[in-house]
């Protein structure tokens, strides 16, 4: 059997972590078994489907590298096919027209509720002999078996059984002629030869209904795997309302696709105690057998940890390339300063995201106002004027600008000025970077270059003098 999986989002919102995990599992399962991965957009809910959501779904999948082999198929473009099958089902007696009005159905529902019964359609039209006029509105319902059971072996949860008696005669075509979700999914999975349906556990109740329709069409039943939900950091269901942002927001915040994939895969799937997985490894290891039945909790702390790990371990040229976009987004012109790759080497183990790195590089490329510095009153004071003046004059005379020469120079200055080297360093940090913390200040001076270094020291001298 050639494995074929699908990701079938409804374009009613953005892609969030939960849907991406379903996509990732389906994609990896297909890759693991050299199968095919189909992308299908389930847009028959015309009122709620949005063009923008489709765009954002495609964008998110592309960013993470979850490429599809077929599609995107759009259910809205397959309406003829659904009509054709519904026609056959009407002819074979597997479906029927239901003329009951919304009002009648609601009355029946209330009656059942008042009798303590579970509300469901009373099948009034199932064996209807009466002929209605051709302009009377109707829906089409599936003739669900009324007795027996329907079971399936869920790859994650084991055997799941429903009594047919519990299931309604499902509406498969609305009164406006548009088929419903449960019906379209069945026809699509069938036509697209889907072998494994991997989706969220919120679809478990749909599965027996879908299986019954497939059975009525004498079709093969795919294998189902229902993935548990993801909880947010407050252990609440991850939903579109609480912090489950569009996956593209993670890009904007400076996360790497590698980190996100690694993070998401571990939200429910495991391979021993291993935490770090690259894609090619996952393509060999992934299976449905070790997906957990229990829900997993989202942790930003762990995601940040993984992102930092990947920033530090992926090739610097790759990270530098990505970083360029973040510099651009921050409006930092990298032509105005040092080589980005060299800077990255110096800074990469200090930050968790590419955006943080980009922001921390700004001072290399742009001048900043000294009065904006937090510690201005502690460092830019008359007591330090002679130190800065002395360094300025001596530094100006340096003919060579290497890390060795700069280190020697500042060691020498500490003797000449009778100061601890760290006292000089912190003052230089404030003057040159606007911050009391930075990587090795001599490396920064080296990368900043002589001209900018002198200019900033001079600015600090003027600043202190003007304050006097």
Residue 19 or 307: the one with the smaller Cβ distance to ligand GLU is: 19
Radius of gyration of the chain (CA): 32
Binding site listing:
240
32 touches 283 (CB < 8 A): yes
Binding site listing for ATP:
240
262 touches 306 (CB < 8 A): yes
**Helix/strand/coil (H, E, C) string of 154-198?**
ECCCEEEEEEHHHCCCCEEECCCCCECHHHHHHHHHHHCCCCEEE
The residues that touch ligand GLU, with contacts defined as CB under 6 A, are: 8-10, 42, 185, 199, 203
Which backbone phi and psi does 204 adopt, to 5 degrees? -55, -40
73 touches 4 (CB < 8 A): no
312 touches 259 (CB < 8 A): no
Three-state DSSP class for 4?
strand
224 touches 200 (CB < 8 A): no
Q: How far is the CB of 8 from ligand GLU (least distance, A)?
A: 4
The two tokens of residue 7 are 């990701």
Q: How far is the CB of 188 from ligand GLU (least distance, A)?
A: 9
Q: How far is the CB of 72 from ligand GLU (least distance, A)?
A: 13
Residue 19 or 353: the one with the smaller Cβ distance to ligand GLU is: 19
Q: How far is the CB of 210 from ligand GLU (least distance, A)?
A: 8
Residue 142 or 351: the one with the smaller Cβ distance to ligand GLU is: 142
Q: How far is the CB of 153 from ligand GLU (least distance, A)?
A: 17
Q: How far is the CB of 203 from ligand GLU (least distance, A)?
A: 5
Residue 167 or 227: the one with the smaller Cβ distance to ligand GLU is: 227
Q: How far is the CB of 228 from ligand GLU (least distance, A)?
A: 15
| Alpha-carbon span 451 to 455, nearest angstrom | 6
| Alpha-carbon span 294 to 227, nearest angstrom | 9
Q: How far is the CB of 231 from ligand GLU (least distance, A)?
A: 18
Residue 53 or 443: the one with the smaller Cβ distance to ligand GLU is: 53
Of 320, 319, 356, 313, the C-alpha closest to 338 is 320
| Alpha-carbon span 62 to 52, nearest angstrom | 15
| Alpha-carbon span 226 to 53, nearest angstrom | 24
Task: Give the Cβ contact number of residue 249 at 10 Å.
Answer: 14
Residue 192 or 314: the one with the smaller Cβ distance to ligand GLU is: 192
Residue 90 or 219: the one with the smaller Cβ distance to ligand GLU is: 219
Q: How far is the CB of 29 from ligand GLU (least distance, A)?
A: 14
Tokens 């909880």, residue located: 231
Q: How far is the CB of 61 from ligand GLU (least distance, A)?
A: 14
Three-state DSSP class for 298?
coil
Calculate the alpha carbon distances from 340 to 307, 333, 355 in Å.
19, 11, 14
For the stretch 271-274, contacts whose Cβ atoms lie closer than 8 Å and that sit 24 or more positions apart, written own/partner, are: none
The two tokens of residue 293 are 């039945």
Residue 40 or 452: the one with the smaller Cβ distance to ligand GLU is: 40
Q: Is residue 138 left, alpha or beta, with left meaning phi > 0 and alpha meaning psi from -120 to 50?
A: beta
Three-state DSSP class for 119?
coil
Residue 14 or 42: the one with the smaller Cβ distance to ligand GLU is: 42
**Residue whose Cβ sits closest to ligand GLU:** 199
Provide CB contacts within 8 A for 294, sequence distance 6+: 228
Residue 89 or 185: the one with the smaller Cβ distance to ligand GLU is: 185
Task: Give the Cβ contact number of residue 102 at 10 Å.
Answer: 10
């Amino acid at each position: 059997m050639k494995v074929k999986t699908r990701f079938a989002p409804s374009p009613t919102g953005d892609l969030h972590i939960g849907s991406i995990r379903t996509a990732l599992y389906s994609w990896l399962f297909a890759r693991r078994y050299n199968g095919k991965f189909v992308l299908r957009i389930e847009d028959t809910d015309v009122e709620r489907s949005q063009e923008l959501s489709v765009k954002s779904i495609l964008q998110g999948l592309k960013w993470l590298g979850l490429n599809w082999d077929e599609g995107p198929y759009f259910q809205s473009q397959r309406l003829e096919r659904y009509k054709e099958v519904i026609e056959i089902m009407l002819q074979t007696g597997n479906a029927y027209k239901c003329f009951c009005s919304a009002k009648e159905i609601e009355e029946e529902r209330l009656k059942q509720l008042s009798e303590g019964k579970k509300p469901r359609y009373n099948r009034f039209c199932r064996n209807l002999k009466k002929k209605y006029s051709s302009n009377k509105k109707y829906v089409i319902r599936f003739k669900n078996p009324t007795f027996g059971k329907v079971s399936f072996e869920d790859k994650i949860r084991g055997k799941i059984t429903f009594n047919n008696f519990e299931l309604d005669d499902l509406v498969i075509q609305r009164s406006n002629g548009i088929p419903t979700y449960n019906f379209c999914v069945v026809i699509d999975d069938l036509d697209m030869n889907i072998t494994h349906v991997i989706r969220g556990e919120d679809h478990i109740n749909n599965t027996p209904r879908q299986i019954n329709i497939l059975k009525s069409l004498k079709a093969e039943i795919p294998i189902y795997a229902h993935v548990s939900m993801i909880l947010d950091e407050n252990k609440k269901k991850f939903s579109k309302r609480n912090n489950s942002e569009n996956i593209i927001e993670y890009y904007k915040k400076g996360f790497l696709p590698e980190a996100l994939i690694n993070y998401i895969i571990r939200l429910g799937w495991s391979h021993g105690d291993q935490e770090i997985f690259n894609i090619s490894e996952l393509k060999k290891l992934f299976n449905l057998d070790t997906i957990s039945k229990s829900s997993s909790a989202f942790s930003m702390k762990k995601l940040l940890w993984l992102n930092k790990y990947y920033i530090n371990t992926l090739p610097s040229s790759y990270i530098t390339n990505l970083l360029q976009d973040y510099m651009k987004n921050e409006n930092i012109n990298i032509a105005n300063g040092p080589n980005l790759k060299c800077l990255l080497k110096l800074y990469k183990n200090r930050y968790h995201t590419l955006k943080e790195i980009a922001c921390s590089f700004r001072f290399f490329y742009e001048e900043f106002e000294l009065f904006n510095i937090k510690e201005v009153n502690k460092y830019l004071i008359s007591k330090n004027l002679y130190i800065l003046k002395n360094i300025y004059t001596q530094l100006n005379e340096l003919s060579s600008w290497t890390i060795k020469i700069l280190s020697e120079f500042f060691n020498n200055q500490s003797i000449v000025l009778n100061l601890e080297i760290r006292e000089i360093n912190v003052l230089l940090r404030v003057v040159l970077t606007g911050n009391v913390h930075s990587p090795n200040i001599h490396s920064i001076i080296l990368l900043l270059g002589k001209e900018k270094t002198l200019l900033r020291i001079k600015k600090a001298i003027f600043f202190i003098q003007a304050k006097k």
